[in-house]
Structure 1
């Protein structure tokens, strides 16, 4: 008869629940912003140069008052076509979206991803205590997922 002794086994440490993956960890904080009185010409130039599709609009005190996107700028471009003007002097305040849906920095990126699916929006300003602290885009969410380990799910 053969006896086997495997010795003392160490108990595997219990895995603690993964820390939530939050919007604040994946949002952009160095934002391009516009003022309500900026011209659409200027917005188009900046969006093209920075290779972005939109940005928050803030007042003089830095409070969020709207968001301007390429789609919003199309309104002024179409108007220029009918008036045969290559310049787009319209103001941001006349074309921006003012009913802006925002997210909090402590929201999980899974919940943020759900918001992107439900609302079909490309970017959300991130607000803490009424102040604009960042922006999270659909691209930021997509870039976050390949970096996650299966233990964080």
Structure 2
């Protein structure tokens, strides 16, 4: 009698999890934000104490009006040092922040967000819905999503 079948035992076909992983699933919802009238020294202390590299600037209606980073604060320190003066107490976030801010949609796929990070060389993107700041996603958040995915679906 000959061999009938070379295929061994068949396993059940696993369904692939085709639901997209969204930015809103991994974004930080409790965002450290700043006001336009805050002094730079206060921002520097907040960045250091919270171990963050920057944050969004919002108005009283929680609408995004800019973003401030460590680099923006460093410029102020550098200028003060150049003129051999202490940091100006009247130097505010509004004078140092970047007003043109790129945002990411909370419904964007996390992998598309990763590509946007690579293309823009930014460290964080605010997430805005209906003009209001609802969260922020960082490169680290994208890495966390990738590691969680690795454990579930990557081989």
Shorter-chain TM-score tier: 0.7 to 0.9
1:88 is displaced (CA, Å) by 4.2
1:124 aligns with 125
Q: Distance between the aligned counterparts of 1:127 and 1:152, measured in 2?
A: 31
8 Å CA contact 1:18, 1:152 repeated in 2: no
8 Å CA contact 1:31, 1:135 repeated in 2: yes
1:40 aligns with 40
Count of aligned residue pairs for this structure pair: 149
Q: Distance between the aligned counterparts of 2:46 and 2:85, measured in 1?
A: 20
Where structure 2 has 5 or more consecutive residues not aligned to the other structure, the ranges are none
Equivalences for residues 63-102 of structure 1 within 5 A:
63-89=63-89, 90-102=91-103
Change (3 A) 1:12 1:57: same
Provide the TM-score with structure 2 as the length reference.
0.86
1:151 aligns with 153
Structure 1 residue ranges, 4+ long, deviating more than 6 angstroms after superposition: none
1:19 aligns with 19
Q: Deviations over 1:96-128 (max 9, x none)?
A: 011100011100110000000111111000112
Change (3 A) 1:80 1:16: same
Greater CA deviation, 58-67 or 140-149?
140-149
1:151 is displaced (CA, Å) by 2.9
Secondary structure of 1:34's partner?
coil
Q: CA RMSD in A?
A: 2.3
Q: Distance between the aligned counterparts of 1:142 and 1:16, measured in 2?
A: 21
Q: Deviations over 1:51-93 (max 9, x none)?
A: 0000000011111000000001112101211232333421101
1:58 aligns with 58
Q: Distance between the aligned counterparts of 2:17 and 2:52, measured in 1?
A: 36
